[in-house]
Amino acid sequence: MPPSPPWWHSVPVPNGCTLRRKQVFEYTTPEQMYRVELFENPDGTCYAIGVPEDSERLIVYGSNVVDSPELALRILVDKIRRESGIFHTSPHSEEDDSSEDSESGEMGS
């Protein structure tokens, strides 16, 4: 026997309206904390959205719509892991780069 849908799937809503379930998670890396929201549609499909907390820029990471909440979260975490380095640079990296340039300039003189 297939598992029965969650209780909220049977809540009646007017035509043209949708009842979607949302769960909130916190994903923390050494560099950043992310607010993650997992959405479950009435048909059982899911997607996840993540936004860094306390960031100077608003960056929204998202998964595609998939058949599993676990898969949506896995896709999102992987996307954050791959793409966060593109948007977040360490404040020390620019200083380190400039000090390396000045050192190499002195050695070449």
State the average pLDDT over residues 56-76: 94
Give me the amino acid identity at 9: H
| H or E element in which residue 83 lies | helix 69-87
Torsion angle (degrees, nearest 10) of CA 98, 99, 105, 106: 160
State the average pLDDT over residues 66-89: 87
- Identify whether the C-beta of residue 84 lies closer than 8 Å to the C-beta of residue 32: yes
Q: For 73-82, how does the pLDDT look when each residue is reduced to its tens digit (9 = 90+)?
A: 999 999 999 9
On average, the pLDDT of the chain sits at 81
CA 31 to chain centre: 14
In 3D space, the residue among 75, 80, 46, 74 whose CA is nearest the CA of residue 60 turns out to be 80
State the average pLDDT over residues 60-69: 96
